[in-house]
Structure 1
């Protein structure tokens, strides 16, 4: 009976190791209270499995390690699934918004790589997308740019989903 429990815990450890996490930003923030200033840390973390799942999380704590742990937990709560093509790209061009940030994404040919900057690049790499063109517009804020990228990726649809929504066979989408 005890060995069964151990096997179960080993399985969960293996599942957890497939998740990768990258810290985008660590910022020291302060709150003014009655006795003075209370310092804490804010960590923005991207969590992904490089197989079409990614999430952005924010954690705040009095120490950096605690903030990163909370950020990872928050990122795992906000995971999204991304439809990808065989060439590890996205099915169609898409725009996303998050706060004051806008992100524009376009599918790219195999061998192009991830052409993106900052937080958007981190989100795309951890999602497992290998060929894409992306541009950040409007804001340089890493949190808003990461959220805009996740917003764009969450609105992606495959050809089969579009055909099902329209109630037509998938062959009719290609016929023009």
Structure 2
């Protein structure tokens, strides 16, 4: 699994194309919370990059799909990318292309458009410190045949999970938690979707 922090390369200046993008660019909306509290839809990844400049991306999986056509064998890459600011925002996205780098770029853009808020807190009966180091209550999500349960943990526990799941929870901002997984967690596509579904419930349910 590879990790990518924010690209340091020179980027073309953002020219907003949507009403929301223009409001963000003009400073009329200054936080991601405002967007979600008002039920606005994000259609430009630059909005997320502008409001969450510290957001990072992580390549979760890249697969190769080969298809036989009349012109010969065609190879395409399927990428799955997760993004997060390690402080309560998390997203996942998929991308397909004939080149690996382009598939990753597409997946990264999709992940920015799918960013969700994750409610952090201290739901552990052993702790009750009211600090934002875990989640406020137990949540469970499903992706394909994989289920993932995230349980609040006390401060100092760290993340009790496999390396793949641990890195995704850290990206979302969790520092302490227990996890339980069901099904074939080696299937990272399904596992990542299960984690996303579980983390979404911290905000929707809470």
Q: Deviations over 1:7-58 (max 9, x none)?
A: x7xxx77656411001111111112222221001111111011111101111
> 2:148 is matched with which residue: 98, 103, 110?
103
2:175 pairs with 1:130: yes
Q: Out of 92, 96, 103, which is 1:60 matched to?
A: 96
Q: May I ask how many residue pairs the two structures share in their alignment? A: 153
Counterpart position of 1:93: 138
Q: Secondary structure at the match of 1:50?
A: coil
Higher percent of residues as helix: 1
Counterpart secondary structure, 2:174: coil
Measured in 2, the distance between the counterparts of 1:125 and 1:110 equals 14
Which residue of structure 2 aligns with residue 73 of structure 1? 109
Unpaired runs of at least 5, structure 1:
162-176
* Match of residue 152 from structure 1: 198
Q: What's the secondary structure of 2:195's corresponding residue?
A: helix
Can you list the C-alpha shifts for 1:50-82, whole angstroms capped at 9, x where unaligned?
111101111111111111110100101111111
**For the structure 1 residues 130 and 137, does the alpha-carbon distance in structure 2 shift closer, same or farther, using more than 3 Å as the test?**
same
Tell me how far 1:115 sits from its aligned partner: 1.5
Residues 59 and 71 in structure 1, CA contact (< 8 A), matched pair in contact too: yes
Contact 2:52–2:85, Cα closer than 8 Å, also in 1:
no
SS in 2 for 1:111: coil
Kept after mapping to 2: 8 A contact 1:107/1:131: yes
The alignment partner of 2:202 has SS state of: coil
Q: Does 1:37 align with 2:77?
A: no
How far residue 104 of structure 1 moved from its aligned partner, in angstroms, is 1.2
Cα distance per residue 1:83-127 (max 9 Å; x no partner): 111141011111110111100110000011112224422321110
In the superposition, the TM-score normalised over structure 2's length comes to: 0.67
Q: Deviations over 1:126-165 (max 9, x none)?
A: 1011011112211221011000011011112599x5xxxx
Partners of 2:132 and 2:84 lie apart in 1 by 19
Query: Which whole-Å CA distance do the structure 2 matches of 1:68 and 1:20 have between them?
Result: 14
Q: What is the TM-score with the length of structure 1 in the denominator?
A: 0.78
1:166 match: none
Structure 2 residue runs of 5 or longer lacking an equivalent are 1-14, 16-24, 26-45, 122-130
